């Protein structure tokens, strides 16, 4: 991933509030299209210019060819705040983040995230590296907002259950673990949409913790079809179970690893 700086120049008098509204509206649209990552974008003002720093999946993630209709609209609306279209400068590779998966054919992919990840939740099955969402056809309504919102909700539940100090832990865990939860169904449906658009088998990650024993966990069945899905050896040391019919992968309960 790469750190970039966007510079917005004023061509007429404006106000900080107008600039804030216009620039943050554009950054939100870029985020919901997978062109920038994270939720906070520091903005600095100086000498008639405003500078914003962000992290992008790839060097060319902000190329106009990737813009969604929402991004294009927000760029046009910058003029209402007396701002020119932004100039972009790549500051360098973010050494604290993962590289993106190469843009090559892949045999499968998986919708997988955790609360510590800011990258794309779509991962290459062969490498487990993140696949930039902006490379995909628009998932819903012109961009990937539904995917990003699902990821935000999943990560919020993951962080609550990892903290493990409130009653909300159990409700949060149920959302990311139980196949009949609303969040699980939502993510699994998004997975199906991505598979339809990309023509690549796309799996959904079921988080698993708890259980009575290691033996019973090893014998558990697919949560949707009830079929056998245990693998002879784990994939990426994460996925111990994989159902090709239901497109679900899962880990051996973290309590027994």
Q: What is the pLDDT of residues 3-47, one digit of tens each?
A: 999 999 999 989 999 999 999 999 999 999 999 999 899 999 988
For residue 229, give every residue at least 6 positions away whose Cβ sits within 8 Å of its Cβ, in sequence order, or none.
221, 222, 241, 242, 243, 248, 250
On whether both 138 and 230 belong to a single domain, the answer is yes
Identify whether residues 7 and 83 lie together within a single domain: yes
Number of domains in the chain: 2
Q: Does residue 222 belong to any structural domain of this protein? A: yes
Residues 231 and 135 in one domain: yes
Together in a domain, 143 and 234: yes
**How much of the chain, in percent, has pLDDT values that exceed 90?**
90
Domain CATH for 30: 3.30.70.100
CB contact burial 169-208 (16+ within 10 A = b; e otherwise): eeebbbbbbeeebebbebbbebbeebbeebebebbbbbbb
Does the residue 103 lie in any domain? no
Same domain, 166 and 248: yes
Q: Are 38 and 54 in contact (CB under 8 A)?
A: yes
Looking at the fold, whether 128 and 182 belong to one and the same domain comes out as: yes
Q: What is the pLDDT of residue 2?
A: 96
Cα 37 from Cα 68, distance rounded (Å) = 15
- 100 assigned to some structural domain: no
pLDDT bracket for residue 139 (50, 70, 90): very high
Judge if 167 and 212 occupy the same domain: yes
> For residues 223-242, b (16+ Cβ closer than 10 Å) or e, as one string?
bbeeeebbeeebbeeebbbb
pLDDT of residue 98: 86
Q: What is the pLDDT of residue 241?
A: 98
Specify whether 60 is located in the same domain as 184.
no
Q: Which of 101, 80, 104 is nearest to 112 (CA)?
A: 101
In this structure, the answer to whether residues 122 and 232 fall within a common structural domain is yes
* pLDDT score for 201: 98
Q: How many residues does the chain have?
A: 257
My answer on whether 162 and 115 are in the same domain is: yes
Identify whether 204 is part of a domain: yes
**Structural domain that includes position 19:** 2-93
Query: Please, where are the H alpha helices in 77-222?
Result: 145-163, 168-177, 182-198, 214-218
Q: Global pTM?
A: 0.94
């Amino acid at each position: 991933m790469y750190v970039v700086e966007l510079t917005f120049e004023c061509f007429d008098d404006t106000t900080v509030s107008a600039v804030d509204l216009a620039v943050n509206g554009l950054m939100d649209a870029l985020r919901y299209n997978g062109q920038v990552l994270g939720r906070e974008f520091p903005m600095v003002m100086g000498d008639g210019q405003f500078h914003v720093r962000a992290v992008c999946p790839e060097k060319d993630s902000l190329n106009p060819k990737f813009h969604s209709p929402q991004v294009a609209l927000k760029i046009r609306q910058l003029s209402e705040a007396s701002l020119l279209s932004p100039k972009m400068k790549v500051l360098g590779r973010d050494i604290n983040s993962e590289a993106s998966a190469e843009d090559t054919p892949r045999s499968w992919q998986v919708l997988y995230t955790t609360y510590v990840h800011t990258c794309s939740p779509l991962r290459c099955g062969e490498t487990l590296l993140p696949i930039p969402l902006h490379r995909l056809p628009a998932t819903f309504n012109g961009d990937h907002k539904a995917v990003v919102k699902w990821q935000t909700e999943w990560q919020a539940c993951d962080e609550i259950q990892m903290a493990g100090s409130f009653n909300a832990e159990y409700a949060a865990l149920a959302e990311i673990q139980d196949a009949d939860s609303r969040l699980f169904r939502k993510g699994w449906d998004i997975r199906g949409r991505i598979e339809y658009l990309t023509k690549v088998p796309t799996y959904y990650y079921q988080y698993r913790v708890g259980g009575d024993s290691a033996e019973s966990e090893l014998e558990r069945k697919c949560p949707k079809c009830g079929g056998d899905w245990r693998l002879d050896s784990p994939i990426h040391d994460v996925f111990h179970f994989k159902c090709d019919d239901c497109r679900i992968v899962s880990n051996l309960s973290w309590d027994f690893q």
